[in-house]
Amino acid sequence: MELQRFPGGVHPEEHKSQSASRPIHAAFVPRKLVLPMRQHIGQPAKPVVKVGDHVLKGQTIAEADGYVSVALHAPSSGTVTEIGLASVPHPSGLPDLCITIETDGRDEWAARTPIDWRNTDPAALRGHVRDLGIAGLGGAVFPSSIKLDPAGGPPIHTLILNGGECEPWITCDDRLMRERAEDILEGARIMQHLLGAERLIAGIEDNKPEAIAAMQAAAQKLGLTIEIAAMPTIYPGGGGKQITKTLTGLDTPSGGRTTDVGVQVFNVGTSYALARAILHGEPLISRIVTITGHVLRPQNFEVLIGTPMSELLLHAGERDGTTGIIMGGPMMGFDVPDMDVPVVKATNCVLAKSKELFPPKPRELPCIRCTQCVPVCPAKLQPQQLYWFARAKDLGRAQEYHLFDCIECGCCSYVCPSHIPLVDYYRYAKSEIWAREKEKRLADTARDRHEFRLFRMEREKKEKAERLAAKAQSKKAEAPALSTPEQDAKKKLIQEALARAQAKKAAVAPKNTDNLPPDKQAEIAEIEARRAKIVEIAKQPVEPEQH
């Protein structure tokens, strides 16, 4: 097969040998598992267990909420002790909704049912994929069930198994391919079936010869037709668009996805998880995590989702002088807010930092427009211009210059001689644009709803007038007396209800005593007046409530 070179890219020091030489360490069961609901892209999962429930390993504890969502399962047996906010691995450092499970050490499985995928309707099969919690394990954690749905786009002719693993330090896919290649290929077979892709290619960077050999051997054993390509080692060769270019020569359109050119890309870890789920009925409750950097024994671990990173660190031999943890690799990863955050589905690497390995960054200088960032950008952007616009908060121009084609690979930050954290600026600009779009949408709905309300009130007024006119015609005499008794009755009702509420309020909320009943009475009288001309109320400037 002829390989093509994607544009841009850099080649940082690899640091892979540290962790790649040891086999995958079997999973251990920590005392406590913390499972965030938001581990994938899309709607967070919805908890279906209560505090105090006993759960078995593999039991669903939260279900997919909508189409773009996946379910979540108990990684080990135990008791649900808490459902609430806890700290999660996220660059914001904000807590999020999590289910905490106190494990019982028995690690008792719930019933597992393998699925006969060849004889299952594709839609149902995708439903299983979703309910078994499968999301992209390469780092993007996009629900796999959606990526496996070929409908609504051009037909998928090629399925790429992504064994690029281009980030420095990380070796989890490398070890997985060396040790569990057969399962990976079994998973690929299911994916190929669902997508209807004719061609199956595995792209593996040429710094992993053992993995390539293992995959080739497994393919032969299974009799699977797959092209296995040794790609040159260039970061970010494992990016979706980049690997597509390398292996098929196809250029993904700007602003589009690889599926636009008929290529779907799955990480080898995802393929493995899919095989375990469909063929063995094991939902996604563990994954391979590289733990490396400033630790005594860098190694890959099979880790239960929800295991606190600090425990992982202990297992790999914590060292003095650890200054923090990066989740993911040094190019695209982020600092986690504290060491106790759990491993999630997206965690491919736990990288312990020290002053020596990750010295504090030198001070940032102004951009000198040296354009060293330009040739390394895999999206062929002009990073220095994007930076200029993002810094000036000129979001419109940034978007015009294809900000959203930036894959945040960090190549530009890596080479910048002025040490500008360029990606931080792009992330800021992107999330600001998203926030503004959201605000705009909300304002638009508010406008629509307000306009509808005005229309409704207009209509009601008209109807009422018509009704009154009709009534007046039929009962000419009674009409004038109508309003007073009705109003009185209403007033009385409200007062009664008010008294009840007041009593209740005193009982449930004794703090709120600054409003005495007499004031209230007067207020109600006013309310009656206001009620008739509710539109006028809206015209009056409202004093902020003082409590």
Pairing state between β 299-304 and 334-335? unpaired
- Residue pair 252/258 in contact by the 8 Å Cβ criterion: yes
Pairing state between β 286-293 and 46-47? unpaired
Asked whether position 379 contacts ligand SF4 by CB under 6 A, the answer is yes
* Of positions 145, 262, 418, 429, contacts ligand SF4 by CB under 6 A: 418
Closer residue to another protein in complex, CB, 204/351: 351
List Cβ neighbours of 461 (8 Å cut-off, separation of 6 or more): none
Strand, coil or helix: what is 407?
coil
Closer residue to another protein in complex, CB, 26/534: 534
List Cβ neighbours of 48 (8 Å cut-off, separation of 6 or more): 60, 61, 62, 63
* Of positions 226, 381, 390, 398, contacts ligand SF4 by CB under 6 A: 381
Closer residue to another protein in complex, CB, 177/406: 406
Asked whether position 465 contacts another protein by CB under 8 A, the answer is no
Q: Please name every residue paired with 203 in a beta bridge, in sequence order, or none if there are none.
A: 162, 229
Asked whether position 442 contacts ligand SF4 by CB under 6 A, the answer is no
* Of positions 21, 225, 371, 431, contacts ligand SF4 by CB under 6 A: 371
List Cβ neighbours of 86 (8 Å cut-off, separation of 6 or more): 34, 36, 95, 96, 98, 100
Residue 377, both tokens: 């950008």
List Cβ neighbours of 537 (8 Å cut-off, separation of 6 or more): 530
- Residue pair 267/136 in contact by the 8 Å Cβ criterion: yes
CA angle 437, 438, 439 (to 5 degrees): 90
* Stretch 397-416: interaction string toward ligand SF4, x if CB under 6 A: ---------xxxxxxx--xx
**Nearest approach, Cβ of 231 to another protein (angstroms)?**
17
Site for another protein in 175-234 (CB under 8 A): none
* Of positions 367, 390, 398, 429, contacts ligand SF4 by CB under 6 A: 367
Report what 508 binds from ligand SF4, another protein, none; CB cut-off 5-8 Å by kind: another protein
Q: What is the 3 state secondary structure string of 79-138?
A: EEEEEEEEECCCCCCCEEEEEEEEECCCCCECCCCCCCHHHCCHHHHHHHHHHCCCECCC
* Stretch 16-45: interaction string toward another protein, x if CB under 8 A: ----------------------x-------
Asked whether position 174 contacts ligand SF4 by CB under 6 A, the answer is no
Report what 524 binds from ligand SF4, another protein, none; CB cut-off 5-8 Å by kind: another protein
Tokens 């220095």 locate to 384
Asked whether position 540 contacts another protein by CB under 8 A, the answer is yes
Tokens 């997919």 locate to 64
* Of positions 333, 342, 345, 398, contacts another protein by CB under 8 A: 333
Report what 90 binds from ligand SF4, another protein, none; CB cut-off 5-8 Å by kind: another protein
Span interacting with another protein, options 8-16, 105-113, 181-189, 275-283, rule CB under 8 A: 8-16
CA-to-CA dists, residue 193 to 138, 150, 153, 218, angstroms: 21, 11, 17, 19
* Stretch 166-185: interaction string toward another protein, x if CB under 8 A: --x-----------------
Closer residue to ligand SF4 in complex, CB, 295/422: 422
Report what 383 binds from another protein, ligand SF4, none; CB cut-off 5-8 Å by kind: ligand SF4
Site for another protein in 256-285 (CB under 8 A): 256
* Stretch 213-252: interaction string toward ligand SF4, x if CB under 6 A: ----------------------------------------
Strand, coil or helix: what is 229?
strand
Report what 126 binds from another protein, ligand SF4, none; CB cut-off 5-8 Å by kind: none
Asked whether position 427 contacts another protein by CB under 8 A, the answer is yes
Asked whether position 530 contacts another protein by CB under 8 A, the answer is yes
Backbone angles phi, psi at 235, to 5 degrees: -80, 140
Let me know how many helices (H) and strands (E) the chain has, helices first.
Answer: 16, 16
Distance CA 410, CA 431 (A): 17
- Judged by the rule CB under 6 A, the positions of this chain that interact with ligand SF4 are 367-373, 376-379, 381, 383-384, 387, 406-412, 415-418, 420, 422-423, 426
